[in-house]
Amino acid sequence: MLQRIQSVYLTLVFVFAVLFVFLPLGKFDYEGIKIALKITGLEFPAQAPLQISPGWRSILLIVLAFGIMVLTVFSVFQYKRRRYQIQLGKLNILMHVGLVVSAFFFIDNYQENLVNLPFNYGIGIFLPLVSMILILMANKAIKRDEELVRSTDRIR
């Protein structure tokens, strides 16, 4: 049943994963020019003279983000197999932890290259953390459903 509350939570996780790809992880301030740091690298305005390649960490972030999206959508449609859905939720949390750790290494790499520029974290870095909370809430709701089904089986 797709109208369950855990499906709503998992849909929000998917939306946050999509937003993670597009929203900046933070911004560097270069002489009044805001340079956005996204998972695809630095987004330079036309007047910024800096040029840095994103490297392999960018590819890792993109692969993890799309893996999370696929796993979340797959998990939503596993509503008949609740125990399996809980295991997928745990795997999804593990992938989110990997995403957060990779994102902080990604940001740290740019901060090492741009030492003198002040950096402010953006909304994108907090989305995986909120997603992990939503996955925990979804797993709790799935466990509640499983207990309800088991209790009705005992009554028969």
Distance of alpha carbon 3 from alpha carbon 5, whole angstroms: 7
Range 38-44, long-range pairs (CB < 8 A, 24+ positions): 38/124, 39/65, 39/103, 39/106, 39/124, 42/110
Predicted confidence pLDDT, tens digits, the chain (156 residues)? 556 888 999 999 999 999 999 998 888 887 777 778 888 777 666 555 555 666 667 788 899 999 999 999 999 998 888 899 999 999 999 999 999 999 988 888 888 877 778 888 889 899 999 999 999 999 999 999 888 888 876 665
Distance of alpha carbon 6 from alpha carbon 110, whole angstroms: 37
Q: What is the pLDDT of residue 85?
A: 93
Q: What is the pLDDT of residue 137?
A: 95
Output helix, strand, coil percentages for the chain, rounded to the nearest 5.
Answer: 65, 10, 25
Q: Say how many domains are in the chain.
A: 1
Range of the domain at 75: 5-155
Q: What is the CATH number of the domain that holds 47?
A: 1.20.140
Q: What is the pLDDT of residue 134?
A: 95
Distance of alpha carbon 44 from alpha carbon 33, whole angstroms: 9
* Predicted structure pTM score: 0.85
Q: What is the pLDDT of residue 114?
A: 76
Q: What is the pLDDT of residue 36?
A: 82
Taking the CB of residue 1, how many other CB atoms lie within 10 A of it? 8
Q: What is the pLDDT of residue 106?
A: 87
Q: What is the pLDDT of residue 155?
A: 60
Q: What is the pLDDT of residue 152?
A: 74
Q: What is the pLDDT of residue 44?
A: 64
